[in-house]
Amino acid sequence: MGEPARTTPAAPGTAARAAYATVDLIRAKRDGVELTGDEIRWLIGAYVSGEVADEQMSALLMAVYFRGLDDGELRSWTSAMVDSGERLDLGGLAAPTVDKHSTGGVGDKVSLILAPLVAACGAAVPQLSGRGLGHTGGTLDKLEAIPGWRAALPPAEMLAILRDVGCVICAAGPGIVPADRHLYALRDVTGTVESIPLIASSIMSKKIAEGTGALVLDVKVGDGAFMRDPADARLLAQTMVALGAEEGVRTSALLTRMDTPLGRAVGNALEVEEAVSTLAGGGPPDLVEVVLALAREMLALAGIDADPATVLADGSALARYRAMIAAQGGDPDAPLPVAPYTRTLAAPATGFLVRLDARAVGNAAWRLGAGRARKEHPVSPAAGVLCLAKQGDWVEEEQPLLELRGDDESRFDTALEALGNAIEIGPEGPDPVATVIERVG
């Protein structure tokens, strides 16, 4: 089949309503024809302006889902998304800038620890974060469990906090990559979320627009992750690292394991509490392992010679966290919300806890109210699940393994139903595995 005919851009100064016929671009991508950079830039801009209808962009996204984007198309797509809004200018900061992004996991409160830790080591960490959807939690939802804390900051205030404290975790403002907000919402309702080029361009466009000089990606792999297949996770990591390099952002990625919840707490206030405990020198070993691995990678990209383990132990990271929370209107000393109702799930037998499935635990926390099915839904700050035992522990029959917490007793039955096949007890413990799998970049 030959390449379908496509209209050419209108000549400069003409009053043509559209530079391209959208249906021509849909047909071209549907039939496996490469879109040009000009076509992609026009398409993204016209969609944001409302000239391209949702149903047309839905068809185009489905074509991308099945046909993919080659390297040139992906670079143009990502660049067009960045150019749909404003770029933050962090050039006035004295410290080198470096950020981290996670593809999402269960119990992943790493950002709450990592941003102040790396800032205490001498970097500036500007972290634009998001909200949770489905079984994975969102960093902003967790921090909003702290009384008074604000996610929405105007750029001037964000820069002031970054300059004064060294780290800030906040929502992307409306001027940052507006194309991504439109496209993400559309992908969510059209079954096109699971596309590596669309995931990569969504993540990297926001990070490029953020203005950071360096970026470390935490790509989760396993049953509780968005990417269950290591090969898919590696491809996503490689794709994002290449996009960062193309835009002048020093970028690397770590593939980290997400078969079982990270740490012991799953839920918003529960994870804040565990993050603070880790900053105070405690914290589960698997969580500390991931935090330190990412911190070392971030500091290396930023060109800073510091030992994050020492800084985590000496209390300076905790002080930086408290300063960040206070600067964003939160009270670091305020009591966190506590759920009024609890239920426990006991071990069905005596033996080793061979498996504690992350996705099932995440779904249980979601059903208790800790997560949302759609972006506009509210979340419960107090709901969640505490893992009273970790994979590899010896447990006795009827010993409590999980503590479920919620605001609404009617939610417990469906949450327990989600945990139906989450636990496996056996006579021998699982082989120990490293939480950090490999580095890409």
Closest CA to 112 of 164, 67, 189, 167: 167
Determine whether 220 is an active site residue.
no
State yes or no: is 410 an active-site residue. Answer: no
Half-sphere exposure of 141 (CA within 13 A, CB side): 31
- 205 is an active site residue: no
Q: Check if 180 is active-site.
A: yes
Q: Say which of 108, 141, 180, 259 is annotated catalytic.
A: 180
Which residue in 345, 324, 349 sits closest to 420, CA to CA?
Answer: 345
Active site residue 135: no
Q: Which of 202, 205, 277, 380 is catalytic?
A: 202
Q: What are phi and psi for residue 261, nearest 5 degrees?
A: -55, 145
Catalytic residue from among 29, 41, 75, 101: 101
Nearest to 137 by CA among 367, 364, 370: 370
- The catalytic residues are 101, 180, 187, 202, 206
